[in-house]
Amino acid sequence: MKKVIPIFAFLSLLILGVFYFFQYNSEDSEFKSEIAYSDFIKRVRAGKIKRVQIIGREIQLLGHDGEAFETYNPGDPQLINDLLDADVLVRTAAPQSRSLFMALFISWFPVLFLIAIMFFFLHRMQSRQGALGRNGKNSKAKMYSEEQVKVTFNDVAGCEEAKEDVVELVDFLKAPEKFEKLGGKIPRGVLMVGPPGTGKTLIARAVAGEAKVKFFSISGSDFVEMYVGVGAARVRELFAQAKSHAPCIIFIDEIDAVGRKRSSSGLNNSNEEREQTLNQLLVEMDGFEGSEGIIVIAATNRVDVLDDALLRPGRFDRQINVGLPDVGGREKILKVHLQKSPLSDDVKIRDIARGTPGFSGAELANLVNEAALFAARADKTEVNMSHLEKAKDKIMMGVEKHTMVMTPEDKRLTAYHEAGHCIVGKLMPDHDPVYKVSIMPRSGALGVTLFLPEKDQYSASKRKLEGQIASLFGGRIAERLIYGDDKVTTGASNDIERATDLARKMVTRWGLSDKIGPLSYGEERGQSAVSDPATPAGVVSGNVAQMIDEEIRSVIERNYQRAENILRENMLLLDRMADALMKWETIDQYQIDDLMSGKDARPPADYVEEANALSLPRFESPNDVPALQAG
């Protein structure tokens, strides 16, 4: 359809242009050249004109030498006398008039063109809706046969609890009579809730693959289009197809695109098509006509916006949370994705799993793919541990910008900034260990200090949160101590924002303030009732708002001072770490441990120029390092 309309418009304009061309160029005339009227009069008076033909405002003339010209008739009253005096043969004719058909066509062509376009659209829409109602040829649902769905539970890793919840769906699809004898009913619908990339679609495919039934897959956005009634027709057609192939599974991805809460006022007509589609889906899932043998599995990461009627028992009876995998789950997922890659002996999958907290299954698959690309660029036949580490760094810290040129002064300032983060974080109690520090420009930052937890964490203590706030200010404080207040840069803007957000949540949401107490003044999504201008008036009194602001400031100032004390007491260590960053640009946890213990930082694993080892002061023991204190 998108290709037909431009072609239709082009042909119409072409036809119109042809009519105009023939209208104004239909004269088979020998008079082609045009001259000025003054030249024409001179030629007449000089006796060079043999014949003249006057047609309205156009004068066509033929000279004695056979040359033909034309010019414009300005309505000169002496023209005829001049021509007669020069013995010129004068002919006159009325201007050629358009035919009635041509005049009507040119006048009405735009209107006729618009009417034709309108009828074309209406015909296409009616044909499309009719096809949907008759045989579903335009249905966007993809049907996969039993042989096409080859995914099984063995291909699903890292979400064992979710797999256990769907095992009984497989049992029902294989042997429904076992449940029916006891009066049990299998859930009509299963809603999978979880962050993106956690394997919701994969689990749905595995259910179909294990049960050996047909699998219908469609996205929630495929139902809704600009034509009124198309979405509801697609829902009807989808369930009609499913009933003819029962038992089967219908999988609706991103169901929040069509299942959002309906408007209660009834005044908003912009969502009428989506609401009609939702109503039809509700009827199909729990209407008078049964849908035996059909299980609807839907996936979303926004369950809070779904309509209540969609979530009630009888439609989506069960919600399955598919969360981010823990360290054991990440290890299993990595093993699944690494099966296709030849690995060297130094690869330790457990270490990669421990170093990727918060990664989803999709992100782990991307990590393995990036590692394979690194190995291919290096012309290696196997993926080794360094390739996996580089891939992890690329995903977690961003892409290195080798083309970005930094002056030595800017590079050293960045080194002090990142060293400040590292030292404060290293000496704060309960803080996550430092993984890497880099002054290589990456996407969105001139440098980065990455902290990684040693194990999966599901909560944080007050002491740990305050340590994080202190480490966030380490970079700004290091700049100020080395270069002075006048040369502090804007590089700490994101650090300040994150530290302020942590302090605000401690006071207003998590009840970690002794002055405010265990009270919540935050919105559901983490917005503070004090700072959010969209918060309704009257949530907190003026006195409470002032008290909250003062407590947030107190948390910030207390931990800012802690970080400053640590760096003032470890200035030599700050210089040594900045020097190491200037030499190698990136230092890892082992090099950081060397520096913190008073030793020279060992070269990186892939460093070749061992003869150029960095010369740093040596100390016999950690106790000899001046002022190595936690503050």
Q: Specify whether the CB–CB gap between 402 and 444 falls below 8 A.
A: no
- Bridge partners of 522, per DSSP, are 528
Tokens of 359: 């990664």
Q: Specify whether the CB–CB gap between 197 and 361 falls below 8 A.
A: yes
Torsion of CA 61, 63, 67, 71, to 10 degrees: -30
List own/partner pairs for 300-305 with CB under 8 A and 24 or more apart: 300/191, 300/192, 300/193, 300/254, 300/255, 300/256, 300/259, 301/193, 301/194, 301/195, 301/196, 301/256, 302/256, 303/191, 303/193, 303/256, 305/256, 305/260, 305/261
* DSSP 8-class letter at 138: T
What is the rounded distance in angstroms from the CA atom of residue 60 to the CA atom of residue 70? 4
Among 629, 568, 565, smallest CA distance to 596 is for 629
What is the rounded distance in angstroms from the CA atom of residue 259 to the CA atom of residue 308? 9
Q: Specify whether the CB–CB gap between 247 and 176 falls below 8 A.
A: yes
Burial class (CB in 10 A: 0-12, 13-18, 19+), 203: buried
Catalytic pick among 70, 210, 237, 418: 418
Give the containing element (helix H, strand E) for 350. helix 349-354
What is the rounded distance in angstroms from the CA atom of residue 107 to the CA atom of residue 262? 48
Quick one: how many helices (H) and strands (E) in the chain? Answer: 21, 14
Told to judge if 58 belongs to the known catalytic residues of this protein, a careful annotator would answer: no
Tokens of 305: 């916006």
Could you write out the three-class secondary structure of 554-610? HHHHHHHHHHHHHHHCCHHHHHHHHHHHHHHCEEEHHHHHHHHCCCCCCCCCCCCCH
Question: Catalytic residues, which ones?
Answer: 418
